[in-house]
Amino acid sequence: MKKNLFSVFLAIVLSFSLTIRAQVLDSTMAVVSSGSINSSASVYTMATLNNTIYLGGSFDYVGPRTGSGVPVDIATGLAKAQFPKVNGTIYTIISDGKGGWFMGGSFKVINAADFAFLVHINPNYSLDKSWNPKVKSPIYTLLLSNNILYVGGSFSSIGDTQRNNIAAIDITSGQITHWNPNADYEVKTILSANNNIIVGGRFTQIGGAQRNFLALLDPVTGLASPWNAFIDQGVSTQTYIK
């Protein structure tokens, strides 16, 4: 009898476990939060009545879950509800030139775990599931030039291709190009000026040469030019003024 009871109990546990694994996070559910960045929100009790959930706890906001990034209507100030919700930090967003965006950071898309760190957003604010370079580490900066997406961050590969901290992706095919400056440490910022790629970060070797934190790279070969600014600290941002 005890053996039969144990078998029934085990079956119930297994059934419950499998049911839990099948659950999908409802990303439209409202969230609670604290107005202070130094404290967390808590929900201590809940009750339901006539399709309404009543909450009690330590919080000062209940509202839509937007994730870490969201476009805001410039007229109303309201968030666009269709935008993919991400869990993590977004460091950079740039236009794709066609009404959509490329978004990089240290994040995963909620309910689409295969899309992380670098994604493409369609003009209708939906996730472009046909474009996925399969980045596995943080992306800090993006530059789009002549259909090539230059990517900087803290990574050792893009998909199955080895690339250290900087790479170039053909946005049409989604494939990594041959361009490979091979930075020895993080790349924080990339911009284009006078037919060159200017790169800043925390590296000391890039483009086949010693360059401390700032380098001018050939957009075709990826090699460093003779130009050397001799920066003595890391570079996090740049602005090119003509």
- The answer to whether residue 47 sits within a structural domain is yes
C-alpha to C-alpha distance for 104 and 155, rounded to whole angstroms:
13
Q: What's the number of domains the chain is made of?
A: 1
The overall pTM is greater than 0.85 = no
Residue 71's contacts (CB-CB under 8 Å, 6 or more residues apart) are 79, 80, 83, 125
Could you say which residues of the chain have pLDDT below 50? 2, 5-20
Contact (Cβ atoms closer than 8 angstroms) between residue 46 and residue 55:
yes
Q: State which residues form the domain around 25.
A: 21-65
pLDDT of res. 212: 95
- The answer to whether residue 230 sits within a structural domain is no
- The answer to whether residue 108 sits within a structural domain is no
- The answer to whether residue 38 sits within a structural domain is yes
- The answer to whether residue 127 sits within a structural domain is no
78-87 LR contacts (CB < 8 Å, sep 24+): 80/125, 82/124, 82/125, 82/126, 83/121, 83/125, 84/109, 84/110, 84/112, 84/119, 84/121, 84/125, 84/126, 84/127, 85/27, 85/109, 85/110, 85/111, 86/110
